[in-house]
């Protein structure tokens, strides 16, 4: 959530900043509502003061034996006016809150301008896309030849956009997760195991609600429970409503969870294979930081995710997202896009985002200022380090061989019982 003081005092600057994201904010309409709120607040306070004063007068008149009925009637009339003013004030406050809840984060000054993903800025490349002397197969064909991917059976037992993994492919997927967790823990992250179900307050805190409710899986009973779309939600909310002592910062967490997304706005996109699933797994990185540490944490998180792709011997590029492509809560985002031979293009495998104090304000997450002792808003950062399903796709495609086998990157072999290749299963 944006700073309410900034919205009150300079809504036009907010409108200008949000326009860089392609978001239209009605600054004049917001200012008019705010003026109406101020007037109602003043009226309510004035009526309350007058009512209190007259109530005291009634007490004095009663003690003096005077007739208090006229005074009581006047106070009753003030009470009705006060109730009406409070009701109107509550309505205006709800309208302002609805507007505030729907406003995305302000972009960093260094974020590129642009309308959509075509305007994102490529920062750098790492590695060379592999060349093949045979016809390249996509990950679905590779996985099926290994008898390791089965979308048809998953569709039978559940529906579209689900996949069953088995055999060597399932083991490779598990190896990727274990390797990533161990790597991040070794670099200073604390591993956490969190609930896969959260309440609406937590989803509001990280910005998924109210705007993105259609992309969530909501439980029927109890109806305030949702399946998590990412570990970002439960892990970031670990500091919700808390005041963290500055010497503990930054807090660095890594969590492996399944992620559940309805993909409401992706009809017809990536319907084949594991690129866009309703259920997938990620190893998520979360930093809870002092504002002075924020940029350094962002760079370190990006380096951590990059090192995973380097260890997996996967060519990738780093992309600085423009205003038209950046997420709702983010002020700045770098995507890692891995090379997929079957598509002859780079596809997103990780997004590393700094939300500044946007989520912290919604969550009430603060630290205690070392100099003043006063609570200040934390900065929160999140990023996948990396998405396990897409890493599996990339390994299957980039390390495929002509005979249908798949080479196992050296970093994963200790997690694969020492084998260096996954061979097609002979039926």
Whether residue 346 contacts residue 337, with contact meaning beta carbons closer than 8 Å, is answered with yes
CA nearest neighbour of 368 among 236, 248, 240, 287? 248
Q: For the chain, 427 residues long, give each residue's pLDDT as a single digit of tens.
A: 999 999 999 999 999 999 999 999 999 999 999 999 999 999 998 888 887 776 777 777 777 777 667 766 767 777 788 888 899 999 999 999 999 999 999 999 999 999 999 999 999 999 999 999 999 999 999 999 999 999 999 999 999 999 999 999 999 999 999 999 999 999 999 999 999 999 999 999 999 999 999 999 999 998 899 999 999 999 999 999 999 999 999 999 999 999 999 987 666 677 788 999 999 999 999 999 999 999 999 999 999 999 999 999 999 999 999 999 999 999 999 999 999 999 999 999 999 999 999 999 999 999 999 889 999 999 999 999 999 999 999 999 999 999 999 999 999 999 999 999 999 976 5
Q: Is 351 among the annotated ligand-binding positions? A: yes
CATH superfamily of 117-422: Bira Bifunctional Protein; Domain 2 (3.30.930.10)
- Which is the catalytic residue, given 276, 317, 376, 413? 276
Instruction: Decide if 390 is catalytic.
Output: yes
Q: Is 263 among the annotated ligand-binding positions? A: yes
Domain ranges of the chain: 4-102, 117-422
Q: Is 299 among the annotated ligand-binding positions? A: no
Read off the DSSP letter of residue 118.
G
- Which is the catalytic residue, given 21, 51, 261, 361? 261
Distance CA 273, CA 163 (A): 8
Give the H or E element holding residue 30. helix 27-63
- Which is the catalytic residue, given 351, 353, 361, 397? 351
Q: Is 382 among the annotated ligand-binding positions? A: yes
Q: Is 289 among the annotated ligand-binding positions? A: no
Read off the DSSP letter of residue 218.
B
167 backbone dihedrals φ, ψ, rounded to 5°: 60, -140
CATH class of 4-102: mainly alpha
Instruction: Decide if 276 is catalytic.
Output: yes
Q: Is 175 among the annotated ligand-binding positions? A: no
367 backbone dihedrals φ, ψ, rounded to 5°: -125, 165
Distance (Å) of CA 138 to CA 80, 175, 296, 311, 400: 71, 21, 37, 22, 9
Instruction: Decide if 200 is catalytic.
Output: no
pTM summary value: 0.92
- Which is the catalytic residue, given 317, 348, 368, 376? 348
Q: Is 252 among the annotated ligand-binding positions? A: no
Instruction: Decide if 304 is catalytic.
Output: no
Q: Is 230 among the annotated ligand-binding positions? A: yes
Instruction: Decide if 348 is catalytic.
Output: yes
């Amino acid at each position: 959530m944006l700073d309410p003081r900034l919205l009150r005092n300079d809504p036009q600057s907010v409108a200008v900043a949000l326009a860089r994201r392609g978001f239209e904010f009605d600054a004049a309409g917001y200012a008019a509502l705010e003026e109406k709120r101020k007037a109602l607040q003043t009226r309510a306070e004035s009526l309350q003061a007058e009512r209190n004063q007259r109530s005291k007068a009634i007490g004095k008149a009663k003690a003096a034996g005077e007739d208090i009925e006229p005074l009581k009637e006047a106070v009753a009339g003030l009470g009705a006016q006060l109730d009406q003013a409070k009701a109107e004030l509550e309505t205006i406050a709800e309208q302002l809150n609805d507007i505030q809840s729907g406003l995305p984060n302000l972009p960093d000054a260094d974020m590129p301008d642009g309308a959509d993903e075509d305007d994102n800025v490529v920062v750098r490349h790492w590695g060379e896309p592999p060349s093949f002397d045979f016809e390249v197969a996509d990950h679905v064909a590779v996985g099926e030849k290994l008898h390791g991917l089965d979308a048809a059976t998953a569709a039978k037992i559940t529906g579209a956009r689900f996949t069953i993994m088995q055999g060597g492919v399932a083991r490779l997927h598990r190896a990727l997760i274990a390797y990533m967790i161990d790597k991040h823990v070794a670099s200073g992250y604390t591993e956490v195991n969190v609930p896969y179900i959260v309440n609406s307050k937590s989803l509001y805190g990280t910005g998924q609600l109210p705007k993105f409710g259609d992309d969530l899986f909501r439980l029927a009973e109890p109806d305030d429970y949702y399946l998590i779309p990412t570990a970002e939600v439960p892990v970031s909310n670990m500091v919700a409503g808390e005041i963290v002592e500055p010497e503990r910062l930054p807090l660095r967490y890594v969590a492996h969870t399944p992620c559940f997304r309805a993909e409401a706005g992706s009809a017809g996109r990536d319907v084949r294979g594991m690129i866009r699933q309703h259920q997938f797994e990620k190893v998520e990185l979360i930093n809870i930081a002092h504002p002075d540490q924020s940029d350094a944490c962002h760079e370190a998180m990006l380096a951590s995710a990059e090192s995973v792709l380097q260890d997996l011997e996967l060519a990738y590029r780093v992309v600085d997202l423009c205003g038209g492509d950046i997420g709702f809560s983010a002020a700045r985002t770098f995507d890692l896009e891995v090379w997929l031979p079957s598509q002859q293009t780079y596809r997103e495998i990780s997004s590393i985002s700094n939300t500044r104090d946007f989520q912290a304000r919604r969550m009430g997450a603060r630290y205690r200022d070392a100099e003043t002792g006063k609570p200040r808003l934390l900065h929160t950062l999140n990023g996948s380090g990396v998405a396990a399903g897409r890493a599996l796709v990339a390994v299957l495609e980039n390390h495929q061989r002509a005979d249908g086998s798949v080479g196992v990157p050296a970093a994963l072999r200790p997690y694969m019982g020492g084998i260096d290749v996954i061979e097609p299963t002979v039926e």
